[in-house]
Amino acid sequence: MLTRNVDMWDALTSVRALEDRFNRRHHYPWVFLNDEEFSEEFMRRARALLPESTVSFGLIPKEHWNQPDWIDVGRQNAAMKTMQSRNVKYGGNLAYHNMCRFNSGFFFRHPLLDEYKWYWRVEPRVKFHCDILDDPFVYLEENDKVYGTSVVCETGPKYDAEQATQCLYMKFLPQSRLSGKQYKARLSASFMENYPQYILPKEDTLMKFISNDNGRTYNRCHFWSNFEIASLDFWRSEAYTTFFEYLDKTGGFYYERWGDAPVHTLALALFLPRHKIHLFDDIGYQHDDWSHCPKDESVWRRGRCLCDARDGFDYTSDSCRRRWDALL
């Protein structure tokens, strides 16, 4: 969990929820990361909630959190001011930009995670609506999966300016897929052209999930990364680290509003066969107003769920669940 001292009670609420619904039966270890030293109170209260689990607290290195020295601060500040004036959520918040960059390219490099192959990302102030009776780590391992989540959505204008996500996408589009106007406005070389060895044939991937026009543009569908259960080895791979460093050097985490969710999703769509990705329908989950609740009555009853699927996010206008279902 990435969190701050000021978010202690929100963080502990999430811990309690996941422990009650799942981890009290398994006692998997918890790792808490912060860009400042954890307070004694935070550590004491977290350990009190987790008496049977190993609990670790880590400080994020400044070079993994703060913007790199080659970022043009003037350009960054001007871009953030523009995003704020357009009411792009968190667009004017430097800490949010730092967080998105950290979650995109550095969380898996923290020494406290070196010993682990799998992780479950947990955010402060989330809810788990159902008992999680089947171990998702075991399921992913036994079924040769790499990544799992429960919410697929489309980034709306208040969360991300459309031109920002299109610019992110065009950083790795081949020149041949761009119109003349797009080609002039974007980099002359793309990730896919520079690193073809990492790219799978699109018929084997999730290209149809992230693009409505055979890869020419990005439809903004993505996996909601604030809940993800995945293999750390994927993010540690040469393909992904090369991909992240390529994106990072463009400055888009600061000059635009690139979230870690579309970055993760685009990488998964580029580098993995689609059968390696799983949507956990039985894990009821909520973050802010976006939620997933199992529709299947037997799954709902088995998990003793406390949610109404009719109120869920899955088939609303901002969801990409129908698009995902069509690929199955």
How does strand 285-287 pair with strand 126-128? antiparallel
Query: What amino acid is encoded at 82 in this protein?
Result: T
Marked catalytic residue, from 228, 245, 256, 297:
228
> In 3-state terms, what secondary structure has residue 311?
helix
Compute how many other C-beta atoms are within 10 angstroms of the C-beta atom of residue 248: 20
Residue 237 vs residues 243, 246, 268: alpha-carbon distances, Å: 10, 14, 12
Residue with tokens 């999680």: 132
Find, among 17, 89, 102, the residue nearest to 58 by Cα: 102
How many Cβ atoms are within 10 Å of 163's Cβ, its own excluded? 10
Residue 85, classified by CB atoms within 10 Å of its CB into exposed (0-12), middle (13-18) or buried (19+), is exposed
**Interior angle at CA 228, CA 225 and CA 229, nearest 5:** 160
Residue 36 falls in the annotated catalytic set: no
Catalytic residues: 228
